[in-house]
Amino acid sequence: MRYDPSFASASARAMTDVLAECSQRSTQRDDTVRIALTSFGTRGDVQPFLVLAMALQARGHDVTLAVPPNVLEWAAQCGVRIERIGFDTQAYMDSPEGQAMFASGNVRAIMKRMQALMHAHQDLLLADQMRICDGADVIVAGVLTEDHSAVMAEAQGIPLIALHLAPLMPTGDFAHSLVTTRDLRSRLLHRLTYAVVERLWWAAHRDSVALLRSRMGLASTRRPTQQRLATTGLCSVQAFSSHLVPRPSDWGPTQRIVGSFQVPKAARRSLGEAAPAPQLAAWLEAGPPPVYVGLGSMPVREPDRMLNLLGQVARRCNCRMVVGAGWSTLASLQDPSSEIRLVGAIDHDWLLPRCSAAVHHGGAGTTHAVVRAGLPSVVASVFADQPFWGARLAQLGVGCHMPFRKVTCDSLERGLRLISKADAVAHAATLSARMRSDPNPVSAAMRLIEESRLDTICYAP
């Protein structure tokens, strides 16, 4: 993906138009509750926001969901008002450069490249934020949109609710997932890892934040967004299970752990993922429960080689595998053997209970779906919070973890044999029962969002 200079000038013109539109619409507010949700990234990043947007709309709220162009058509099938934000994130991940970058597992290099992409499309991102958030009563933002959405919330004097899919707020209980998954045996060192990430993140985003603040008539600031939001007293929605991550002992009352969002059946039908292919159902019934292999939206550089590896492991372990290809290039291939079946996007709640174990990349959504289904896991992580979830499952005795770049026939065979032991299977069943007994996390998140409108908002300088 290359930066087109003409794109910047077009985006600058778009920002000018948005400023005029914002000024006009600011005088047209009524008593309708308007909720803007801003998300960015791959399907795994956007899906929880879509689930929440659908629930808020069904509750009678006026909802707008911002998504990148790579998931725009997919999200629009669910009947929520969808707005485009930013650039196509999947295009870079599928490019030769992106595939090589993610395959390397070099966190610093990946972050640096993604920051460069965000900077190259800065004008577009800011114009989109201004258009989408103008006139909202509440803004709900993901990690990748939080900095700019916070500016829009401050400019309008409205609440910003941060929605996190993994623990990112400072704690002494464990290190930041982007730094290490090891126990540093020091609460101070653990907290320092969050300070390091915050400093690097702010260094990459402060210029664009300053530009947006200037556009919105706000004074400049030197304080990182998370520090400034911490002084407002607004809650953040932690959309993961406390059974996987017990509430950190030093988190305050504004950090609300509600659980992971499930895609409702109505949404699955809208997305065309509710009814499995008859051939797949027949294949599942014709043999023992298979191992589920899911790589989410992560790029696979050599799909033929990956399928060959999976076939060898299946024969060694005398098992079958159903490969959830997601949006990777695997989805376009044919089933390589009788032991392997390829599927595209499919209802996890239907498929996973029909499996015996799982191999996946460790995305937050997939991790929770696998645990909810009672399956032990081999996590082959690539980036971001994926190593964190792999380490958590290993600590809980329901999985093992390895970097995706180190996956071989031998390592994957060892992992599958390890998680097939009776204690791992029993622990997975127990953890599943606990997670299923939790209250509805989407309902809890909606209550927090609705209650935030009653808060007195004070954005400190």
Boundaries of every domain in the chain:
5-259+440-452, 273-436
Mean pLDDT for 15-39 is 60
pLDDT at 327 over 60: no
Mean pLDDT for 264-282 is 86
Percent of the chain whose predicted confidence (pLDDT) is above 70: 89
Place of tokens 């702010």: 202
Highest mean pLDDT (candidates 101-110, 438-447, 450-459): 438-447
Looking at residue 119, what is its pLDDT?
84
Global model pTM greater than 0.85: yes
Mean pLDDT for 386-400 is 97
Percent of the chain whose predicted confidence (pLDDT) is above 90: 66
User: What is the full DSSP assignment across 140-208?
Assistant: EE-TTTHHHHHHHHHHHT--EEEEESS--S--SSS--TTT-SS--S-HHHHHHHHHHHHHHHHHHHHHH
pLDDT at 92 over 80: no
Q: How far apart are CA 374 and CA 296, in angstroms?
A: 19
Place of tokens 């930013």: 86
Answer yes or no: are the C-beta atoms of 355 and 322 closer than 8 Å.
yes
Q: Residue 136 is encoded by which pair of tokens?
A: 């909202």
- The pLDDT mean for the chain works out to 87
Pick from 34, 455, 37: nearest CA to 234: 455
User: What is the full DSSP assignment across 331-385?
Assistant: GGSPP-STTEEEE-S--HHHHGGG-SEEEE---HHHHHHHHHTT--EEEEE-STT
Looking at residue 461, what is its pLDDT?
67
pLDDT at 195 over 50: yes
Selected from 3.90.1010.10, 2.30.30.90, 3.40.50.2000, 3.40.605.10, the CATH number assigned to the domain covering 5-259+440-452 reads 3.40.50.2000
Q: How far apart are CA 100 and CA 105, in angstroms?
A: 9
Answer yes or no: are the C-beta atoms of 311 and 336 closer than 8 Å.
yes
pLDDT at 3 over 50: no
Looking at residue 189, what is its pLDDT?
98
Residues contacting residue 137 through CB under 8 Å, at least 6 positions apart: 33, 34, 35, 158, 453
Looking at residue 303, what is its pLDDT?
79
Mean pLDDT for 312-327 is 88
pLDDT at 28 over 50: no
Instruction: Label residue 29 by pLDDT band (50, 70, 90).
Output: very low
Instruction: Label residue 176 by pLDDT band (50, 70, 90).
Output: very high
Q: How far apart are CA 249 and CA 259, in angstroms?
A: 18
pLDDT at 445 over 80: yes
Q: Residue 207 is encoded by which pair of tokens?
A: 């210029």
Looking at residue 414, what is its pLDDT?
97
- The answer to whether 5-259+440-452 and 273-436 have equal CATH topology is yes
Instruction: Label residue 266 by pLDDT band (50, 70, 90).
Output: confident
Looking at residue 328, what is its pLDDT?
53
| C-beta neighbour count of 41 within 10 angstroms | 22
The β-bridge relationship of strands 62-67 and 34-38 is: parallel
Pick from 26, 133, 30, 37: nearest CA to 449: 37
Instruction: Label residue 273 by pLDDT band (50, 70, 90).
Output: confident
Mean pLDDT for 219-235 is 90
Sign of CA pseudo-dihedral 168, 173, 176, 181: negative
Mean pLDDT for 214-237 is 92
Highest mean pLDDT (candidates 103-107, 222-226, 371-375): 371-375
Instruction: Label residue 247 by pLDDT band (50, 70, 90).
Output: very high
Phi, psi of 232 (to 5 degrees): -80, -25
Answer yes or no: are the C-beta atoms of 301 and 99 closer than 8 Å.
yes
Answer yes or no: are the C-beta atoms of 92 and 40 closer than 8 Å.
no
CATH number of 273-436: 3.40.50.2000
pLDDT 10s digits, 95-113? 878 777 777 767 777 777 8
Q: Which residue has the higher pLDDT, 164 or 324?
A: 164
Phi, psi of 408 (to 5 degrees): -135, 175
For the chain, helix (H) and strand (E) counts, in that order, are 19, 13
Looking at residue 18, what is its pLDDT?
46
Q: Provide the β-strand partners of residue 398.
A: none
Q: Which residue has the higher pLDDT, 394 or 326?
A: 394
- Could you give the angle at the alpha carbon of 45 between the alpha carbons of 42 and 48, nearest 5°? 135
pLDDT 10s digits, 160-172? 999 999 999 999 9
Which of 283-297, 370-384, 421-435, 438-452 is the least confident region?
Answer: 283-297
Looking at residue 62, what is its pLDDT?
96
Looking at residue 32, what is its pLDDT?
64
Q: Residue 238 is encoded by which pair of tokens?
A: 């932690």
